[in-house]
Amino acid sequence: MTRFLRRSFLVVRVAPAARRGFLALAACAALVATLVAHAGTARADSELSMQDLVALDRQKQWTELLDSADRVKPGARTADWARLVTAAATRVVEQIARASATGLRQASSLVAVVPAAEHRYAFLVTDAGYLDAKARSLAGVVAACGREPLSGCGVVVAALADGVARFPPGIAKAIALLVADDIGPAESVHFWALAADDDKDTCRHPRLGRAVVHALRSAQASAQIADAQRAATTCFAQLEQTLVEELVATKDTAKEQPLYLRNACPVLKAHGPQTIAKKKKCP
Tens of pLDDT, residue by residue over 54-64, are 999 999 999 99
Q: Does 198 share its domain with 161? A: no
Tens of pLDDT, residue by residue over 95-112, are 988 888 877 776 777 888
Tens of pLDDT, residue by residue over 110-124, are 888 999 999 999 999
Q: Does 158 share its domain with 249? A: no
Which residue stretches of 39-187 are H helix?
50-58, 62-68, 79-100, 104-111, 113-120, 128-147, 153-161, 171-182
In this prediction, residue 246 carries a pLDDT of 95
Q: Are 204 and 241 in contact (CB under 8 A)?
A: no
Q: Does 188 share its domain with 174? A: no
In this prediction, residue 150 carries a pLDDT of 67
Q: Are 179 and 188 in contact (CB under 8 A)?
A: yes
Q: Does 138 share its domain with 70? A: yes
Domain extent for 225: 184-283
Q: Does 171 share its domain with 202? A: no
Q: Does 172 share its domain with 201? A: no
39 pLDDT more than 80:
no
Q: Does 29 share its domain with 110? A: yes
pTM of the model: 0.78
91 pLDDT more than 90:
yes
60 Cβ partners below 8 Å, 6+ apart?
A: 91
Q: Does 35 share its domain with 164? A: yes
Q: Does 72 share its domain with 122? A: yes
